[in-house]
Structure 1
Amino acid sequence: MTPAPEWEDDFNRWYDTHHIPIRMAAPGFLGAQRYRNVEGPAYLAVYDMQTPEALKTPDYLRIKQNPSEQTNWMLANVGDFTRYTGELISWQQRPDVEDDRVLDSAYLYAVFFSVPAEHEEAFNAWYVEDHVPLLLGCEHWLGCRRYRIVDGHPAAFTHMALHHLADLAALQSRAREAARATPWRAKLAAEPWFKGHYAVFSRHGAAFRATPTV
């Protein structure tokens, strides 16, 4: 979402004190972290859920179908609204990095692809066996979580990778150069569908965690 500059502060207050907290009390929600695009005032919120079915529970539907007046206003006026739901298909990280440090990374490099079904197996094998292991050769490349998109708007992406970075220097590292120069990648890059959509975000605020139920 991209708020207008004159009400960006109000947008952030609404997101941090209302929009995310009420979702953290819904079953199936585990946590959330917000990010801001490094090139402008576009915001990303990443929600961790047990399964996509968390978006179909009575509690969540009650939240979704009964928005506050402020929520209605924000959603009607915010720009660049996008929403993607995915199922985790791989999680790779440096062996010297704990899970919490990956999730608390200072930067998030998000990559989206539209992969034809007949190429999915080869694409996933390349990403897991060739691409990510080389990226993790950079000390600033903490980990990568990959998802198969099960629902999304507005673009018809099928796969999403969330790369967790400690420093943006990772994007100019020798490890990344090596990962983008392998024969396996060159073979896939020759395919007309191999066109990724990329965005870089910095962490915005503290992480949210699910509200314990009594």
Structure 2
Amino acid sequence: MRPGAVLFSEMIPDATWEADFHDWYDTEHIPIRMAAPGFLGAQRYSRNDGPGFLAVYDMESPATLQTDAYKRIKGEPSERTARMLRDVSGFTRYTGQLLSWQQQQSVTESEMLESQVLYSVFFTVPQDRQGDFNDWYTQDHVPRLLDEPQWLGVRRYQIVDGTPEGYSHLALHHLVSTDALESPARAAARNTPWRDRLAAEGWFRGTYMVFTRRHQRFLAQPAA
């Protein structure tokens, strides 16, 4: 099943207990969620330009976070979980509903989701400009990016809930390596009349982050 939603969550542990943080995340925090209904998979990443760590949870829909099972997970944390969530910094949490999914024909969905590099792009788009913005992204921008073989695919989301910023849109770009960011295809995608027209508007200011994959991808576990 293709994920219909994502949960994008960053945290920064203190360096003195970072190893414990990773052990908790890999052996408790994610596995509990992979056993809950509606969760399809998860991948962890390290942020390239700082100390943060990202988890992207793939879900059937945003309603996954409203189930009784998930409410119990959130409402009845273990002592270790409560301590970790209390002491981390740099916390972000955004829930997105799938808008579009475009990928190279030569790669599978799994290969795309297991990409070595994740390039995330956030925008805050006025309501009356979202139609034009979405059309530009799917019809003009992404097809040009996919001219680069290392640009495996792009999945885009309407943010339905999030903190700390009021973003409206999230794009997750799956790359073989950061070399794709310096490719002629990306330069061409950023130099079109449609993009120039949008870029002239004051709201067209993205927030860009690059992450590197950590370890294996987590997959949903069958109910006991």
| Same-fold status (TM-score > 0.5) | yes
Task: Quote how far apart the aligned CAs of 1:150 are.
Answer: 0.4
User: Partner letter of residue 127 of structure 2?
Assistant: A
Match of 1:131 in 2: 141
User: Partner letter of residue 2 of structure 1?
Assistant: I
Match of 1:12 in 2: 22
* Structure 1 position 66 matched with structure 2 position 76: yes
Match of 2:153 in 1: 143
The CA distance in 1 between the partners of 2:216 and 2:106, in whole Å, is 23
- Aligned-partner SS, 2:142: helix
- Aligned-partner SS, 2:149: coil
User: Partner letter of residue 146 of structure 2?
Assistant: L
- Aligned-partner SS, 2:90: coil
User: Partner letter of residue 31 of structure 2?
Assistant: P
User: What does 1:7-86 align with in structure 2 at a 5 Å threshold?
Assistant: 7-86=17-96
Root-mean-square deviation (CA), in Å? 0.7
* Structure 1 position 205 matched with structure 2 position 215: yes
Match of 2:103 in 1: 93
Match of 1:116 in 2: 126
Match of 2:203 in 1: 193
- Aligned-partner SS, 1:127: helix
Aligned match for 1:166, one of 176, 188, 204: 176
- Aligned-partner SS, 1:208: strand
Task: Quote how far apart the aligned CAs of 1:83 are.
Answer: 0.2
The CA distance in 1 between the partners of 2:88 and 2:221, in whole Å, is 27
Q: Deviations along 1:70-95, whole A, 9 cap, x unmatched? A: 11111111111000001101000111
Aligned match for 1:177, one of 167, 180, 187: 187
Task: Quote how far apart the aligned CAs of 1:40 are.
Answer: 2.3
Match of 1:107 in 2: 117
- Aligned-partner SS, 1:47: strand
Deviates more, 1:40-49 or 1:188-197: 40-49
User: Partner letter of residue 43 of structure 1?
Assistant: F
- Aligned-partner SS, 1:48: strand
Percent identical among aligned pairs is: 57
The CA distance in 2 between the partners of 1:40 and 1:12, in whole Å, is 16
User: Partner letter of residue 202 of structure 2?
Assistant: P
Task: Quote how far apart the aligned CAs of 1:4 are.
Answer: 1.2
- Aligned-partner SS, 1:80: strand
Aligned length: 214
Q: Deviations along 1:132-175, whole A, 9 cap, x unmatched? A: 00001111100000000000001000000000000110000000
The CA distance in 2 between the partners of 1:134 and 1:110, in whole Å, is 17
- Aligned-partner SS, 1:202: strand
The CA distance in 1 between the partners of 2:122 and 2:50, in whole Å, is 19
Query: Unaligned regions of 5+ residues in structure 2, if any?
Result: 1-10
The CA distance in 2 between the partners of 1:40 and 1:158, in whole Å, is 24
The CA distance in 1 between the partners of 2:183 and 2:216, in whole Å, is 28
TM-score, length-scaled by structure 1 = 0.99
Which of structure 1's runs of 4+ aligned residues deviate more than 2 A?
A: none
